[in-house]
Amino acid sequence: MNPATIADLARRLDAEVLAPLKQAFVGKDEIIDLMGVSLAARENLFLYGPPGTAKSALVHSLAARIHGHTFDYLLSRFTEPNELFGPFDIRRLREGDLVTNTEGMLPEADIVFLDELLNANSAILNSLLMALNERIFRRGRETRAIPALFFAGASNHLPEDDALHALFDRFLLRVRCGPVPETQLAHVLSAGWELEKRGSGEAATLTAADLREFQQAVRQVDLAPVRSAYLDLILKLRHAGIDISDRRAVRLQRVIAASALLCGRLEARTSDLWVLRHVWDREEQIEIIESIVAASLAAGKADAADHPQSRTARAPDPDILAAGLDEIAGRLSSDPADATAADELRQLASRLEWLPAGVAREDLSRRVEALWKKIALAP
């Protein structure tokens, strides 16, 4: 694909899909940009947050702006494979063939949204894992390629058992979706009412075929300029106790390339590493990862062609910092010589500097000092 066509598709994806969503959903720019990156990279995105924070509405609105087939389903503990992948074709069954009728179901969808994803049961788990990771539907002797451009999953809790951890792992990027700050509530009410009056909104103009073409262009992005910085960042994250497997490290290159592509570039920059903020497994890791990624972004030279999210600086959440300190304290209680505790504590401590002066900062600083003393006394 020639650079002019790529730039035009990037412009259209932003102007016809992402920008209108940002106008309609106040305070959700980061989530919308992540949906754009995931869509361009053909990777999966997990939205985590309590009910009423627009997780479903965001994905539905994205799908409505793309001309293609969408499949969405609310999973329960009792969801059966037929509800996602389709029933056996009765006519073919009479002839002795076990063939699935997938019309209108997940295997034929361009965009797939699985709400309450972590309610998935063992009956559908293996089929889902293959669909998410390999884009393949397999049942008996049947094997079909799944054309899905993008899978989104949502839940108000994180996985607790190993089987669901495997499912969660298939979502390369994760984003927390919470209520907007009180200062933006008036804007939320106004934008929400405008969305209510508009109803279903404008007709989709970007097609699934356009996006498939755009996804192919990801392979044309030159990652050589950021290879060294990316490797350094992966190693820092691993040293801080963040589990990034070789497989995930390889696949993350696609979302880095997608970030560049959405900015109209065929060459990645250090600023495109902002996507690595979203590789956490546990909530207490969010602040640690943001601190490490922020340091890497600061080392790069800022430019107008950088992705907007690379210039977004967020004050840390004191509750998240406290949860991270609790997690470290618990590990040190059971293993005073924990090898990763010092690195994680160092990253959390660096985030304290971003907190405004006050009781929360003073309390957390005292807790950090106490943990340093505990580490120093470890055998």
Same domain membership, residue 191 and residue 122: yes
Q: Which pLDDT belongs to residue 200?
A: 53
Three-class DSSP labels, 110-136 = CEEEEECHHHCCHHHHHHHHHHHHHCE
| H helix intervals, the chain | 3-12, 19-24, 29-41, 55-64, 81-85, 90-94, 122-134, 162-169, 185-198, 208-217, 227-239, 246-262, 285-299, 318-334, 341-352, 359-376
pTM greater than 0.75 (yes/no): yes
Cα 295 from Cα 231, distance rounded (Å):
14
Q: Which residues pair with 151 in a beta bridge?
A: 112
Dihedrals phi, psi of 76, to nearest 5 degrees: -130, 175
Query: With 0-12 CB in 10 A as exposed, 13-18 as middle and 19+ as buried, what is 262?
Result: buried
Q: Which pLDDT belongs to residue 32?
A: 96
Q: Does the residue 89 lie in any domain?
A: no
Residue 147 and residue 110 in contact, taking contact as beta carbons nearer than 8 Å? yes
Cα 217 from Cα 163, distance rounded (Å):
34
Q: Does the residue 94 lie in any domain?
A: no
Q: Which residues pair with 145 in a beta bridge?
A: 136
Cα 276 from Cα 269, distance rounded (Å):
13
Same domain membership, residue 271 and residue 256: yes
Query: With 0-12 CB in 10 A as exposed, 13-18 as middle and 19+ as buried, what is 100?
Result: buried
The contacts of residue 374 (CB under 8 Å, 6+ apart) are 329, 332, 336
Residue 4: what residue type? A
Same domain membership, residue 372 and residue 287: no
Q: Which pLDDT belongs to residue 301?
A: 77
- The SS3 assignment for 74 reads strand
Q: Which pLDDT belongs to residue 374?
A: 87
143: domain CATH number?
Answer: 3.40.50.300
Last residue of a domain, one of 160, 184, 207: 207
Dihedrals phi, psi of 210, to nearest 5 degrees: -60, -45
Same domain membership, residue 280 and residue 226: yes
Same domain membership, residue 197 and residue 293: no
- The SS3 assignment for 138 reads strand
Domain count, the chain: 3
Q: What is the pLDDT of residues 21-72, one digit of tens each?
A: 998 898 899 999 999 999 999 999 999 999 988 899 999 999 999 999 999 9
Q: What Rg, from alpha-carbon coordinates, does the chain have?
A: 22
Last residue of a domain, one of 183, 207, 231: 207
Same domain membership, residue 330 and residue 295: no
Q: What is the pLDDT of residues 356-376, one digit of tens each?
A: 677 778 898 999 999 998 888
Q: Does the residue 366 lie in any domain?
A: yes
Residue 47 and residue 31 in contact, taking contact as beta carbons nearer than 8 Å? yes
Q: What is the pLDDT of residues 240-249, one digit of tens each?
A: 889 999 999 9
Which tokens hold the place of 281? 């497994």
DSSP assigned state of 284: T
Q: Does the residue 195 lie in any domain?
A: yes
Q: Side-chain half-sphere of 18: how many Cα atoms within 13 Å?
A: 22
- Give the chain's residues under pLDDT 50: none
Q: Which pLDDT belongs to residue 203?
A: 65
Q: Does the residue 278 lie in any domain?
A: yes
Same domain membership, residue 65 and residue 129: yes
Same domain membership, residue 158 and residue 17: yes
Q: Does the residue 212 lie in any domain?
A: no
Q: Side-chain half-sphere of 168: how many Cα atoms within 13 Å?
A: 22
Domain span holding position 371: 318-376
Which tokens hold the place of 255? 């979302």
Same domain membership, residue 226 and residue 183: no
Q: Which pLDDT belongs to residue 270?
A: 94
Q: Does the residue 102 lie in any domain?
A: no
- Strand 136-139 to 142-145 pairing: antiparallel
Same domain membership, residue 354 and residue 268: no
Q: Does the residue 83 lie in any domain?
A: no
Last residue of a domain, one of 256, 282, 311: 311
Residue 127: what residue type? S
Cα 348 from Cα 181, distance rounded (Å):
23
Cα 204 from Cα 201, distance rounded (Å):
9
Q: What is the pLDDT of residues 276-296, one digit of tens each?
A: 999 999 988 888 898 889 888
Same domain membership, residue 165 and residue 302: no
Q: Which pLDDT belongs to residue 199?
A: 63
- The SS3 assignment for 357 reads coil
Same domain membership, residue 322 and residue 304: no
Q: Which pLDDT belongs to residue 269?
A: 95
Q: Give the number of residues written for the chain.
A: 379
